[in-house]
Amino acid sequence: MRQNVENSIELTSYGRSSGFCIDPIEKKPLNHFYPGSSVLSFGTAGCNLACKFCQNWDISKSREIDRLGSIATPKQLAQSAYRHQCKSIAFTYNDPVIFHEYAIDVARACRERGIKSVAVTAGYICEQPRTEFFQFIDAANVDLKSFSEKFYYKLTGAHLQPVLDTLVYLKHHTNVWIELTTLLIPEKNDSQQELESMCQWVVEHLGPDVPMHFTAFHPDWKMKDVPPTPATTLTMARDIALKNGVRYAYTGNTYDKKGQSTYCHDCGKLLIGRDWYSLSDWNLTVEGKCCFCNTKLAGQFDSNAGSWGPHRLPISIN
């Protein structure tokens, strides 16, 4: 952003992107929002956090002149998503709250075309812009990076409470479908005590139906001296979530068909089989209920599974 001669703020990244790609919706990750569908993903440059473990540091830590080589208007983006038969468009790679105006205009244009809007965000946003931004969003994956203020302050430059406030707001004051992601970093935010506290808070304040994703860290940015997350840690986190009443808990950034598949919280049968971003089993009725016991699965679903699969398709907008 820059300050213009009239003493107002101008978003210099408006209409400019670091690139466009069609992804599986499970990559965001969203497992309960039209599974198997395709999503047009894009971001800009920069971020409002300073995570030392950033996995997209080449985009989020760059200056706009380094990365913003692609140009697209909101109308062009909506047309492209429609032309490629994408179910949704995702503001991702860097946090969409920093290109607030651009994201809102894109979401409005997409809504006119029947395209859903997805925000992949850290949820670190003030009350007034939060209300304005999320009224145009259909689904969000929110990074709950830790359940420790010390972690947030020392490793992200932010604070925990505003993120929790955003989550409560989304759950109780909007119709946004939300899922949570926690990148588990060895000896930083992966203790059993912290995970227990986090999952208990989620169930108490957001309810048992909000899916939680526990994903593997790999050494990057300013934390290359920290080892990758062991698969056993991801399994432990998933087990802790389920034990504490979270109905849908997943592992990510690792090969784990069981941990990435969806099971009925009532009868325990497999509802949606996943192998990375490929769907196999689909045991849902057209109403989104378990075929075995008729229990409703939380989320938003089409009558059949999407067929996009694991494909990643870079595109140009014109």
Task: Indicate which CATH number applies to the domain containing 32.
Answer: 3.20.20.70
Q: What is the pLDDT of residues 90-104, one digit of tens each?
A: 999 899 999 999 999
Which pLDDT score, from 0 to 100, does residue 67 have? Answer: 47
Taking 50 as the pLDDT cut, the residues of the chain under it are: 1-5, 7-8, 62-67
Structural domain including 239 reads 2-315
* Closest to 137 in 3D by CA, of 289, 300, 317, 17: 300
Q: What is the pLDDT of residues 134-189, one digit of tens each?
A: 999 999 999 999 999 999 999 999 999 999 999 999 999 999 999 999 999 999 99
Which pLDDT score, from 0 to 100, does residue 16 have? Answer: 78
Q: What is the count of structural domains for the chain? A: 1
Placement of tokens 């598949």 in the chain: 261
Which pLDDT score, from 0 to 100, does residue 129 have? Answer: 96
* Closest to 207 in 3D by CA, of 251, 171, 232, 180: 171
123 with 171: CB under 8 angstroms?
Answer: no
Which pLDDT score, from 0 to 100, does residue 65 have? Answer: 43
Predicted model pTM: 0.93
CB within 8 Å of 20: residues ≥ 6 apart:
40, 41, 42, 70, 72, 77, 80, 314, 315, 316, 317
Tell me the Ramachandran region of residue 260: left when phi exceeds 0, alpha when psi lies from -120 to 50, beta otherwise. alpha
Tell me how far apart the alpha carbons of residues 296 and 2 are, in angstroms, rounded to a whole number. 49
